[in-house]
Structure 1
Amino acid sequence: MKTIRGFVAALFLVLAAPMAAGPALAQQAPSAAPTGEPAETAPLAAPVTNVDTQNTGGAAISAHGISVVDMFWRADPLVKGVFGLLLLSSIWSWVIIINKGLALSTLNNRANRFEKTFWSGQSLDELYAQFAQRNNHPLAAVFVSGVREWRRAFEHGTPSLAILSGTKDRVEKAMSVTISREIDSVEKSIGFLATVASTAPFVGLFGTVWGIMNSFTAIAARHDTTLAVVAPGIAEALFATAMGLLCAIPAAIFYNRFVAEIGRYGNRLDAFSDELSGILSRQLDEKAR
């Protein structure tokens, strides 16, 4: 019995010892706690060097964008060929446009002066002598060809009634052939404008497709889809399309304009040919009587 009481007393002492030491330990301050003033955070310094972004070709792109010249020199050789072809086509188209515009204006002015002289009351022989050596425009050429054929009918004297109809047909045929030849001469070179107007957009589209292919190739090679990788190729592609349209639109506009003006001028030649044919036919009838 005494043994049991001693064992319980010893166990009670063991359990009571940590409970008495706990409040004392809780009242002690941690030895590692900071005792100085709190730390202050300083702002980060701005970078002092410029950060360059690179395109697919490795050249730096300025912050203000890509110029047309830089775009051309960084383009693929095939895209450069497309640019050069469209540029040459555009330059040659404008040369044709300016020359043809001046030529049609000159032809209309000369035709106005010729008609004013023709209806001034001079005889056919006087007019023929005046314009035979300087038929420098289609209206004068038609007049000279018709009167020349008419004069040939009187080389062997006054023609008989039997050959009057043949003479009239030859006069009309000579003027018709002259009109066709002169219209062909006036229409020279405008076919190039039609070709440029119809093919330049497709040439530009070919450059566009090739530029987009280069962009996807750059993405696959660098495993990156950022604008620095994609933008240069897309810009080259869209610039090729713009070049094609810039080349085709003026060519189409002026081609349609020139075709309309030449058509009106051809109608003017046909009307003058009919009038001259009527005058020459009356002259033949009067001299054959």
Structure 2
Amino acid sequence: MELTCPVCVKKKQPGLNANMEYCMTFLNACIIGFSINPQPFSPPNTLDLVLHAGIVAKVVLGILLIFSIVSWGIIFDKLRVLSKVRKESDRFLQMFRQRRGTRDIMQASRQWPNNPFSAIFKEAYWLFNKNDGAGSDPSLSGSVDMLREQKGKQEHTSQDLVRVFDAVASREMLNLERNLPFLATTASVSPFFGLFGTVWGVMTAFVAIGASGSADLSVVAPGIAEALITTIAGLGAAIPAVVAYNHFVSKLRRLSSELEIFYSNLIEAFAKRETHEVR
């Protein structure tokens, strides 16, 4: 590219105004400067940004690191537990749908103790056996009195079964929901910690500008970098936590719905058992 000075331009083109001369001078200076001494681009080192950050930023980053480590531990543990519960529940429900005898189901359910379906079935099984073992009152001799006794016992058993189902289902769901509130807390609080670090970094940058009396990049850059690194850390801790929390809550809601359906099928199974025994 042929470079000309503003004087030569003025001599060759006397009609140019003063603004055009200034623009040409600026462009020529930029072209000459970049061609003589080009500045290579070096990407920022995240570790250096953390090590050279202020004490407040380091405290914020430490808190976010703790939240992130604990959250990932909970995520991996929940994935393992829910996967095991899902496999054992599917096997138990498959066996239950085959309509085997309740005693056979009870014996086979001991192979899969870590699922809420077998826990509910065990409690219901022991409840029905306890009521059956009580027997009928020998002083009742008429068939009408026997029917009344059986009807009253069935109503009492149904009420007990409802209480057993609510208690066992609540216990099993609370056990599966353990530590999920920490994921919700991490997803909610981490962005605010990052925002706090961001505001503090920007404030530090303005204080440095006021102290030096200059808005040079070397003065502003450290505070801005400190602000951005805390923002990234806050989002890095919050995003996996909120995704995992929503995933686990969806799984547990589905499991709760399946427990409701299983409860209805369980009542039907024991009702058929009682009808078969009466006949």
TM range (shorter): 0.7 to 0.9
Equivalent residue for 1:137, pick from 115, 134, 145: 115
Unaligned runs of 5+ in 1: 1-61
Shift of the 262–167 alpha-carbon distance from structure 1 to 2, 3 Å rule, reads same
Provide Cα deviations, 1:156-209, integer angstroms capped at 9, x if missing partner. Answer: 225633222011110222122111111111111111111111111111000001
Matching of residue 254 in structure 1 with residue 244 in structure 2:
yes
Structure 2 counterpart of 1:198, from 188, 194, 208: 188
CA contact (8 A) 1:196 1:247 kept: yes
* Greater fraction of residues in helix: 2
Alignment counterpart, residue 95 of structure 2, candidates 117, 123, 128: 117
Shift of 1:285: 4.5
* 1:129-159 CA distance string (max 9 Å, x none): 3335852211111111111111110122256
Structure 2 unaligned segments of length 5 or more: list them.
1-39, 137-148
| Alignment counterpart, residue 87 of structure 1, candidates 62, 65, 70 | 65
Q: Which amino acid is the alignment partner of residue 272 of structure 1?
A: F
Q: Give the structure-1-normalised TM-score.
A: 0.74
Residue 97, structure 1, aligned to residue 75, structure 2: yes
Partners of 1:65 and 1:227 in 2: CA distance:
16
Q: Which moved more, 1:152-161 or 1:209-218?
A: 152-161
Shift of 1:215: 1.0
Q: CA deviation at 1:121?
A: 4.1
Kept in 2, the 8 Å contact 1:164–1:284? The answer is no
Give the stretch that moved more between structures: 261-270 or 89-98: 89-98
Residue from 156, 174, 191 that aligns with 2:164:
174
Contact 2:88 2:112 in 1 (8 A): no
Shift of 1:286: 4.6
Q: Matches of 1:109 and 1:131 in 2, distance apart?
A: 13
Answer yes or no: is the 8 Å Cα contact 2:183–2:242 preserved in 1: yes
Give the whole-Å Cα distance in 2 for the aligned partners of 1:198 and 1:96: 16
Q: Which aligned pairs between 1:259-274 and structure 2 lie closer than 5 A? A: 259-274=249-264
Could you list the structure 1 runs, at least 4 aligned residues long, displaced by more than 6 angstroms after superposition: none
Out of 246-255 and 112-121, give the one that drifted further.
112-121
Q: Pairwise mapping of residues 1-289 of structure 1 onto structure 2 (< 5 A)?
A: 64-132=42-110, 135-158=113-136, 160-287=150-277
Aligned residues: 228
Residue 139 (structure 2) aligns with: none
Q: Considering only aligned residues, what root-mean-square deviation do their CA atoms show, in Å?
A: 2.0
Deviation of 1:258 after TM superposition, in Å, equals 1.0
Partner of 1:58: none
CA deviations on 1:217-258 (whole Å, 9 max, x unpaired) are 111222221000101110110111111111111111111111
Q: What's the TM-score once normalised by structure 2's chain length?
A: 0.76
